[in-house]
Amino acid sequence: MSEGEAKERDYQIGSASFRARPLEPALYIVATPIGNLGDMTIRGIETLAAADIIACEDTRVSRVLLDRYGISRRPYAYHEHNADMAGPKLIAALLAGKSVALISDAGTPLVSDPGGRLVPEAKAAGVRVVPIPGASSVLAALTASGLFKDAFYFAGFLSSKQGQRRAKLEQLKSLDATLVFFESPNRAATTLADMVEVFGPERQASLCRELTKTYETIVTLPLRELAAEFDGEDRIRGEVVLVIASPPEDEHVPRTDDDIDTLLRALSLEMSPAKAAGEASRMTGRPKGELYQRLLAMK
């Protein structure tokens, strides 16, 4: 490696300069900060400095992060709109012995992120995949909300269509776990209103916005009060994480026939009758065959 090539692998932390150690050929899934650039891990910085190729969601956003740590390498765009062309090129580079670091605009690639196609393709091609963990808005919101107990379920983004959104909430309302959702700021108010209707007004919930940034906000209240606090979409700015407490013990399992029917209807909107009956059976303990016949009779 020439001196010029070696310098391309330099990075900075504060006023100190370092040279990254060589990387083995592999696909490195590198978590990036969710707002505060100071949250980047040292291992993540060195991985980006050492990688032969940095594949990113938006080169303009990633350039800000790379400049913060003195990484001069030019990032390569890989996103949902060019994945059909860019993906095979990245796989070819990996098979040729190159190291590729995959990053998203914020957080961990593949988690509610367009980079999700690359890892299965790499593994199918026999390429080693290495996770480089870091900042997580899911875990930040979960821990700061005060609502986590024994288990949590990450549901990602809900549908923008109210019917499908409510159906998903109905499917999850009796799950014995803290629920975590991503939501856009312009839909957060309407989603909270739906949650009041489906989960009930007294269930504890937390709205977390602008996590790790200057105007970070974490508000935990009963759902009815939380929805009232943020009623009106103009009140909410920045990316939002919603955390919902697990239901009271006596609400974990649907018990009445009406509860069962509501669950079956919600599940049948997203899956076949047989799969809906199987999922309802798992959630309620009732026989799958009985629930399948009940669903057919409802239809």
What does the pLDDT read at residue 248? 83
Q: What is the pTM of this model?
A: 0.79
pLDDT of residue 144: 96
Three-state secondary-structure class, residue 171: helix
Q: What is the CATH number of domain 138-248?
A: 3.30.950.10
Question: Token pair 């776990």 is at which residue?
Answer: 177
Alpha helix (H) residue ranges in 187-270? 188-199, 223-229, 257-268
Q: Any idea what the Cα angle at residue 111 is, between residues 106 and 113, rounded to 5°?
A: 65
- CATH homologous superfamily for the domain 10-135: Tetrapyrrole methylase, N-terminal domain (3.40.1010.10)
How many Cβ atoms from other residues are within 10 Å of residue 176's Cβ?
A: 15
Instruction: Please give the Cα distance from 280 to 283 (Å, whole number).
Output: 5
Instruction: Give rounded-to-5 percent helix, strand, coil for the chain.
Output: 45, 20, 35
Please name the residues in contact with 119: beta carbons below 8 A apart, sequence gap of 6 or more: 27, 29, 110, 129
3-class secondary structure, 173: coil
Q: Looking at residue 69, what is its pLDDT?
A: 97
Q: What is the pLDDT along the chain (299 residues), one digit of tens a residue?
A: 555 555 678 999 999 999 999 999 999 999 999 999 999 999 999 999 999 999 999 999 999 999 999 999 899 999 888 989 999 999 999 999 999 999 999 998 876 666 678 999 999 999 999 999 999 999 999 999 999 988 999 999 999 999 999 999 998 988 889 999 999 998 999 999 999 999 999 999 999 999 999 999 999 999 999 999 988 655 677 789 999 999 987 555 555 777 788 788 878 877 888 988 888 887 777 889 999 999 888 87
